[in-house]
Amino acid sequence: MINVIGIFIGDRQKEALEVQRILTRYGCNIKTRIGLHEVNEAYCSSGGLILLELTGDLKEQENLITSLEAVHNIQVKKMVFKG
């Protein structure tokens, strides 16, 4: 089974530090991390999207999701792939 979560951060300036603290706390449960946000020479988006491939104990994965959902202006979506 492959567990992937998407984390939408509405305001990276305000929420990124708390999100990073949470991701560091659960770092041993994160196999892959990809960060996406709109940027060009004239513009840098205030929002952003992080994709995580999770690994390890399922209870710890749920604790990670619960911690992220408690942060203001954060949306978390989970995808589960059975292989």
pLDDT score at 69: 97
Mutual angle of helices 58-69 and 12-25, in 10-degree steps: 160
Name the strand (E) or helix (H) holding 1: none
In the predicted model, what is the mean pLDDT of the chain?
A: 94
Entry pTM: 0.90
CATH topology of domain 2-81: Alpha-Beta Plaits (3.30.70)
pLDDT single digits (tens) 11-48: 888 999 999 999 999 999 999 999 998 777 777 788 89
pLDDT score at 44: 77
The CA–CA distances, whole Å, from 14 to 36, 67, 83 equal: 17, 16, 38
Taking Cα atoms as reference points, which of 67, 63, 57 lies closest to residue 21? 67
pLDDT score at 75: 97
What residue spans define the domains of the chain? 2-81
pLDDT single digits (tens) 45-75: 888 999 999 999 999 999 999 999 999 999 9
Q: Is 30 within 8 Å of 54 (Cβ atoms)?
A: yes
